[in-house]
Structure formats: structure tokens, C-alpha cells
Structure 1
Amino acid sequence: MREPTVASLMTREVITADVGSSFKELVQLLEENRISAVPVLDGGYPVGVVSEADLMPKEEFRGGTEDAPGMFAGRPAKHRWEQASGVTARDVMTSPVRSVAPGLSASAAARELAAAGVRRLFVMDSDGALVGVLSRRDLLKLFLREDDELRTAIRDEIFGRVLWVDPSTVDVEVTGGVVTLEGQLERQSEVEIAEHLVRALPGVVDVHNQLRCGWNDTAHPRQTEIFG
């Protein structure tokens, strides 16, 4: 079964700033559009990102009037102090842009977000042009799929087309994204594969697998050890 891609989930209309955008313009962009970060473009291509965190040093260090961090301070603290004196997007932005390709799968994008510890990834095509933005919220929308839609996909796609099992022999119930499977399959391996495929289906919250099997083809024969 095909997994949703970044292109199918991303927001295509992206609010952007230019490298020459002033500090105040950046604050206004975030406030007026109710967003927490904006990509910075240079010649139409993303070169950095300005987030609320990038703007806060202006207040943290009172515009650079506070003493600079000591010689033993880490690079992050020194970078924030430098941002405090910034007046344009180029001065305060964070680079490089964390990006993903439109064709990346939803699960791979979720792993990218988790590994980077960011709220969003900007989507860039093969030429480096900005084509969208993918946020945590965009990915979480997958769990808003209707229960009936999930039930149909499980019955028709997973059991009917992938496992070649007559859907009428399996009872599939979905409540709040939680799937309950009942019925009997021929082999234990099919029971395990069915649960794996259902859990991997976008929008499924959990699976209660109560399927039975005619015979267990996964059991290992008992081996007798002979000690001499």
C-alpha cells in the first residue's frame, strides 16, 4: 500500500521573508499570520529561517547592550548575542534551511522532524525552489481519517488485495482510530502480517488483534540437545 507523501500533506502557500526584511517586518509577519517561523529567500531561493527564537535575543540581550557571553560560553549563547544586534533577516536567520523533498514519505518526514527537533520542514524541489512547508500539525491530520474510511481500506486493500483473504471472513471494527480484528486466517504468519499492515496504515491509532489461525507456521520444531 502506498504511503502518503510530503507533497500530499504539505501547505503550499508559504509566507516568506527576504534577506533584507527588517527586524520589525519579521515580527509583523509572524504576528499577522499567526506563525512561529518564516523562511528567508535570497533571489527566490531559501537561505535561512527566522523563528520566534531567533528574534528573542533582541530582548534577551537588550539589543546588544548587555555584556557579551564570557569566553567559556558555548557557541549557541554567543550566536544569540550576535543576533541581538541584528537589524535584517540576514543578520538573525538560522542556516541552513532544514528541508525535505516532495516525494518523501510521511513516516520518513516524521522521523526527520523528530531527529531535528523542529516544528516544521520546508519542502524544496530538485532545483532548490521552495514549494511548501510541512509541519507537525500537517502530519497529525492523518489521524483525523474517518473510522469508516479506515475500515474500508483495511477490508478491501489489506485483506482483499494484499493478503488475498475474503473480507467477509474477517470482522473489522474501528472506533476512534483503534482497530479490532476478529476472525480466522489460514496461517499464523498471515495473522502477524495483517497486524503489521494495519498498524502501518496512516490514521490507525492502535490495533487489537484477535485473529485466530488454522495452523501455526511460525513455530520452531523442538530440538533435542545430546550431551556426551
Structure 2
Amino acid sequence: MLAIYGTSGLMYRGPIEDLRRVLPSLRSARLRPLATEVDRPDFADSGFRVPARRDGDGDHGGGAALPRTAAVAVQTYGEVQRPTVPRQPLQRVQDVMSRTVVTVRSDLSVGQGWRALAECGVGQAPVLDADGRLVGLLTRAELLSLDHLPRPEDNALVWRAFLAQPLSQVMITPVPGVTADTLLRRLALALLATGLPGLPVVDEAAALIGFVSRSDILKAVVHDPPLDLWAG
């Protein structure tokens, strides 16, 4: 199930498959495909270490000994095939979403919104109004859009005015929200249709309960297989 929220409240609720049909009637000048950054895997936190090769490693005359690095790889693969924790297929948004969400208020300035993204190390954040309702999405890509930024040669006062304007001038609105039980393949359809880097996750009462991004999906594929993928 998909719902689309704007500054006036709920604008649409229905199947994700209808998004391509509904979106053109809701599209604003600020809702467009965005260039996003992709998180690079942090191998330092993965727990995997490849010992340095030492003199004498490898073939000692027996003819069949594996190099040490290859042996480590084989052992690691075997451990993956026999996980100590039971695994289950990742099928729905709730299996991969982030439940701790960085949000910003719509009454903040552009400068304050930018600082919030930078301090929390995120590329996007749902925007909530004074009553805590979802009204938009703030993204780093949108803040850096040439449609919004003053020109480099503009006076410093122009840049100060840009940073002082409300987030409502640069946030993406309306913004879709998905429920936690949405199938991942349908989430992927919504991301492709909107070009957004991620979507807020809401409950049946439209309360924000999480966020799911492209990075969440990629990290799940890397760290928490199996993920069933079907072509058709």
C-alpha cells in the first residue's frame, strides 16, 4: 500500500502499481529524479580479516595446499552456508527499513536543515509539520540543486537569504510513504517511478515509523541473504 502526503495532508492512498498513473497529477516542480550518493560498504566493520601472506604459505610440496587467503575465503564461505542464526527471506519493507529516523521540522530554515543532515550523516530526512505529520522530504541532492542555489558570483547577502528561507521552499512535496508490510519489489517500483533515494515508512494512522532507502536494500543484500529475486 502506498500513500502520498503533501502540505495539505493525505493526497492519495492505493496500490503502488497505480503510482505511475497518479504521479503526473501530483507532480510539482520540485518532484523529479535526483542524483544520489551510494554508501560504500565499510569492510572495516564487517568482521572479516584476511591475514597477510607469509613466506612459506601455499604449496609445501604436497601439491594441493591452498594459499592462505584462499583457505580463509573457503572457510568464510562455509560459515555463510551454515549460519548459526536461522535466516529467512527478506521480502518486505519491515525486513530492511531503519526504525530510527532523522526528521526535520518544516519551520526550520534551509541552513538549519542542511546542518541537521550534516550532523547526523544522512542524505535525506522526512519533513514533519508542527503537528508531527509527514509533509515532505529534504534531500542533500535537492539542497545542492542548481535550481535553488545562488550563483557563485552572487553577493554574500544573497547566500544568507537562501540559507534563511524556510525548508518548504526546497523540500520535495508531495512525498510518498509506504507501509511496513509493503513487498520490496513494490518498493523498488516506487523508487524507480519517483527517482527518490528512499521513502518514509508510515503506519495506518499515517504516523512515521521508519525510513527505507536504496542503501538499506543494498546493505541487506550484502549482509543478510537470502533475498528472493524473481524476473517476469
Task: Output the TM-score relative to the length of structure 2.
Answer: 0.50
Task: List runs of 5+ in structure 2 lacking aligned partners.
Answer: 1-87, 156-160
| Equivalent pair of 1:48/1:93 in contact (CA under 8 Å) | yes
Of 52, 62, 66, 2:140 maps to 52
Tell me the SS of whatever aligns to 2:127. strand
Of 105, 125, 144, 1:38 maps to 125
Tell me the SS of whatever aligns to 1:12. coil
Q: Output the CA distance in 1 between the equivalents of 2:115 and 2:218.
A: 28
Aligned partner of 1:119 in structure 2 is 197
Tell me the SS of whatever aligns to 1:127. coil
RMSD: 3.2
| Equivalent pair of 1:6/1:105 in contact (CA under 8 Å) | yes
Aligned partner of 1:15 in structure 2 is 102
| Equivalent pair of 2:109/2:164 in contact (CA under 8 Å) | no
Q: CA deviation at 1:26?
A: 0.7
Q: Output the CA distance in 1 between the equivalents of 2:169 and 2:229.
A: 44
Q: Greater relative contact order (Cα 8 A, min sep 6): structure 1 or 2?
A: 2
Aligned partner of 1:142 in structure 2 is 220
Aligned partner of 2:165 in structure 1 is 87
Change (3 A) 1:63 1:10: farther
Q: Output the CA distance in 1 between the equivalents of 2:141 and 2:149.
A: 11
Percent of aligned positions that are identical = 27
Change (3 A) 1:27 1:3: closer
Q: Output the CA distance in 2 between the equivalents of 1:123 and 1:59.
A: 29
Q: CA deviation at 1:53?
A: 3.2
Tell me the SS of whatever aligns to 2:189. helix
Q: Output the CA distance in 2 between the equivalents of 1:51 and 1:131.
A: 19
| Equivalent pair of 1:20/1:88 in contact (CA under 8 Å) | yes
Of 182, 199, 207, 1:129 maps to 207
Tell me the SS of whatever aligns to 1:15. coil
Aligned partner of 1:225 in structure 2 is none
Q: CA deviation at 1:141?
A: 2.6
| Equivalent pair of 1:143/1:205 in contact (CA under 8 Å) | no
Tell me the SS of whatever aligns to 1:139. helix
What code does the residue aligned with 1:144 have? V
Q: CA deviation at 1:133?
A: 0.5
Which protein shows a greater Rg? Answer: 1
Q: Output the CA distance in 1 between the equivalents of 2:213 and 2:101.
A: 12
Q: CA deviation at 1:115?
A: 1.9
| Equivalent pair of 2:104/2:126 in contact (CA under 8 Å) | yes
Q: CA deviation at 1:92?
A: 2.1
| Equivalent pair of 1:17/1:39 in contact (CA under 8 Å) | yes
Q: Output the CA distance in 1 between the equivalents of 2:228 and 2:89.
A: 13
**Greater than 4 Å deviation, 4+ residue runs:** 61-65, 83-86, 203-206
Q: Output the CA distance in 2 between the equivalents of 1:97 and 1:120.
A: 10
Q: CA deviation at 1:47?
A: 0.3
Of 158, 175, 178, 1:97 maps to 175
Task: Output the TM-score relative to the length of structure 1.
Answer: 0.51
Q: Output the CA distance in 1 between the equivalents of 2:221 and 2:171.
A: 33
Q: Number of residue pairs matched?
A: 136
Q: CA deviation at 1:88?
A: 1.4
Q: Output the CA distance in 1 between the equivalents of 2:192 and 2:205.
A: 26
What code does the residue aligned with 1:36 have? G
